[in-house]
Amino acid sequence: MPGPIKAKYVEKEHAVVDGVDISGHWNRMFEQRTIFEYTPELIEKIADLPNAESFANCYQCAKCVAVCPVDVVGNYGPRKLYRYAQTGMDLTETPELWLCTTCANCLRVCPKEVNMVKIMPAAREQAILDGKFVPPELQQAFENTAKSGNPLGQPQRKRDAWIQNAGVPIPIIKDLGRPVDVLWYVGSYPSYHPRGIDAASAAARIFTALGIDFAILGKEEKDDADSQRLAGERGLFEMMTEYNIETFNKYEWKELVVTGPHELNAFKNVYPKYGFERPVLHYTTFLTRYLDQLKPLLKHEVNVKVTYHDPCYLGRHNGEYEAPRKLLEAIPGVELVEMARNRENGYCCGGGGGVMWMDSFTQKHTKMRLSEKRAMEAASTGASVLAVACPFEVSRFEDAVKSTGNEHVTVNDILELLDKSMRGEQ
Amino acid sequence: MNIVVAIKHIPSIADDLPVKGNNVDFDSVDFVLNEFDEQSIEQAVLVKEAVGGTVTVVGVDLIGELDNVLHLALAKGADKAVKITADEPGADSHMQAKWLADAIKGMSADIVFTGVQASNDLDGQIGPMIAAYLDIPYIGGVSSVEVADHTATVNKEFAGGFGAKYAVSLPMVVGVQAASKPPRYAPISKVRQIAQTVTIEKIAPSGDANAGAGLSFKKMAPPVMTGHAEMIGGSYKEVETKIVELLKSKGLV
């Protein structure tokens, strides 16, 4: 692959521009670049892909680079990708293809609506279909999802094994044999990851204490595969979507409540294209409805300073910034402090867009993990708890507080903090 | 070149193996493609891409779910898929080798690839037995294969980090340890398209099941834990000192 062609500078004793001598001591100027040396082919190659049309809209203003979380820890950004493509980079065969977390902060500021959330999955899909390099860890997550129904590669029949130790009975909708108010989609990490199980168990106890009529799918639940779609595996996403929609429609329920923002995004924003249009709520939005009933249950003081990390797929992608904060403020003793980058400008944890499963690959192309940068930001607020609302984040940030020497910061899902206040220290 | 890949569908060991009576509880375990067969499919497709020909993948359908695996192999570059409809989840390698060899006999194969071993049959005999039934040479522990002029140049791995290069005349059977490149990824859209359009050839298993190893299971139980990892506690300095002492006491430094 030819590398990007860089403009050369020249150093002249005397520089005369349009008859005016602008010489200084060792003046340096860039030679006028000849735009005609470049071909638009590699930009067109991307912009011709379905959903990636807006790539060609870029007019190089670079507002995106200023807010790109990857640029903070490396050298990246949509504007740069456009420029590299202009000067010889084929996006489908470069490491840059895999660094974008689809956090959508660039789209928020882009005056030309260049939408990397659509462009990157389309370019990645093309790379996969063309048999180009795909990070091996990502391949593994794809294969696990196709084979086992979850990216962790855990057995499907153990999907509801966690409910044994939740401390409250958790009904499986198939066994219940009647309609329920709430179908709770637990999600893969809350079903299998030890720290995810902590959050899921807390959710079950909270729902039960609030008297909510809920049930889960149990062994019938499979991954939403939204992050796999964003990583370029649309076929896999469609296969999982067909299964999930059929499973959701087998039972009678009024609302679908999800633990994770990525599931929210899939079921609420993408599934309608596949014929599924039902009410879907993230647990934070759902629980704020019960604030009046919840507050008297929060008996124990949790005396900590807490900072909250906005998940990209709850905040920017779905506009929910206040519900998580309302829940945290309802906990007696909690002092909520904000990181400098919050809400619409929240910094990405680095796990979106399938980058969750490319950790050792992206490590080679950035100075530090996005989660490490964010953990340092959290620590700098003086908070002792970093509260999260996305199942990807607990494990990411727990590693990051350790690797950045901030072990004094505890990472908790909001569910765990509510549960702690409800039951006291266990 | 007629390239044939003989594959095995085996109980997944991603989780504790469920035991029922004196054998694996085949009803409550997932079946997966033997991981060495993933390597052997890749090696077969690489050879095809280098010298031309067709790749035929053949396997014994033990539980009626082999189609998924065959579709995946086709998506990765195989041209034809054949399944031996046995419906015998407990069929051992010896039995499967006989059925596979009988199926391969009619294929006039120039080269037959198998995984060097499988986690449910660690004697690694499926390749040698197929070779014996077909009366052609076998070479196992292979980490790369190149074919030219009806001769294969094969890298074979030995213990202790040694390797050797062999030139073998075709036809032969190869037991693949690892393909010369990591197995490629097959996009699901391609796999699903193949699943809708391709017909898998079905062959009945030849003869009765007497070709088996002649072994019978008396008892099956999870292994008894005999040792455990020792966690070294204390400050970094203390841990460091203990590790150095330990390495010295074992004569490693």
User: A184-234, pLDDT tens digit by residue?
Assistant: 999 999 999 999 999 999 999 999 999 999 999 999 999 999 999 999 999
Residue-level pLDDT at A1: 47
Residues of B in contact with A142 (CB under 8 A): 185, 188
Of B15, B30, B188, the CB nearest to A233: B188
Chain A interface, mutation test: which of B33, B39, B185, B190, most A Cβ atoms within 10 Å? B185
Average pLDDT over residues B243-247: 92
pLDDT at A26: 56
Name the CATH architecture for the domain at A37-129.
Orthogonal Bundle (1.10)
Which residue would you say has higher pLDDT here, A93 or A34? A93
Which pLDDT band, with edges at 50, 70 and 90, does B31 fall under?
very high
User: B15 and chain A: CB distance < 8 Å anywhere?
Assistant: yes
pLDDT recorded at residue A25: 56
Q: What is the 3-state secondary structure (H, E, C) of A324-390?
A: HHHHHHHCCCEEEECCCCCHHHCCCCCCHHHHHHCHHHHHCCCCCCHHHHHHHHHHHCCCCEEEECC
When CB atoms are compared, the residue of A134, A158, A239 closest to B188 is: A239
pLDDT per position as a tens digit, B132-160: 999 999 999 999 999 998 999 999 999 89
Q: Is the pTM of this model over 0.80?
A: yes
Distance from CA of A236 to the nearest CA of B (A): 5
Looking at the partner chain, which of B14, B182, B188 has a beta carbon nearest the beta carbon of A146? B188
Put simply, whether B192 touches A (Cβ < 8 Å) is yes
Residue numbers in B near A148 (CB within 8 A): 14, 30
Chain A residues close to B188, C-beta within 8 Å = 142, 146, 233, 235-236, 238-239
Provide the percentage of residues in chain B whose pLDDT is more than 90. 71
Residue in A with minimal Cα distance to B27: A157
- Say if the ipTM goes beyond 0.85: no
**Which residues of chain A have a CB within 8 Å of the CB of B190?**
129, 235
Domain boundaries, chain A: 37-129, 148-288, 295-423
Q: Considering only CB atoms, which residues of chain A are within 8 Å of chain B?
A: 125, 128-129, 131, 134, 136, 139, 142-143, 146-148, 153-158, 233-236, 238-239
A148-288 and A295-423 in the same fold = yes
pLDDT tens per residue across span A100-120: 999 999 999 999 999 999 999
Q: Which residues of chain B does A155 touch, with a Cβ-Cβ cutoff of 8 Å?
A: 12, 14-15, 30
In this complex, do A234 and B32 lie within 8 Å of one another by their Cβ atoms? no
Of A134, A158, A239, the CB nearest to B185: A134
* Model pLDDT for residues A293-313, shown as the tens digit of each residue: 999 999 999 999 999 999 999
Q: Which fold has domain B2-211?
A: Rossmann fold (3.40.50)
pLDDT over 90 (residue A20): no
Ordered by start, the domain boundaries in chain B are 2-211
B188 → closest Cβ in A155, A156, A235: A235
Q: What percent of chain A has pLDDT over 90?
A: 89
Q: Which fold has domain A148-288?
A: Rossmann fold (3.40.50)
For domain A295-423, the question of CATH label 3.40.50 is answered with: yes
A–B interface: beta-carbon pairs under 8 A: 45
Q: Do A146 and B15 touch (CB under 8 A)?
A: no
Contact criterion met (CB < 8 Å) for B185 and A234 = no
pLDDT at B215: 76
Q: Is B187 in CB contact (< 8 Å) with chain A?
A: yes
H, E, C per residue of chain B: CEEEEEECEEECCCCCCCEECCEECHHHCCEEECHHHHHHHHHHHHHHHHHCCEEEEEEEECCCCHHHHHHHHHHCCCCEEEEEECCCCCCCHHHHHHHHHHHHHCCCCCEEEEECCECCECCCCHHHHHHHHHCCCEEEEEEEEEEECCEEEEEEECHHHCEEEEEEECCEEEEECCCCCCCCCCCHHHHHHHHHHCCCEEECCCCCHHHCCCCCCCCCCCCCCCCCCCCCCCCHHHHHHHHHHHHHHCCCC
Residue of B16, B65, B189, B191 to mutate, testing the A interface (most A Cβ within 10 Å of its Cβ): B189
Tell me whether residues A139 and B185 touch, CB distance under 8 A. Answer: yes
Task: State the amino acid at position A220 in one-letter form.
Answer: E
Query: Which chain A residues touch B189 with a CB distance below 8 Å?
Result: 129, 234-235, 238
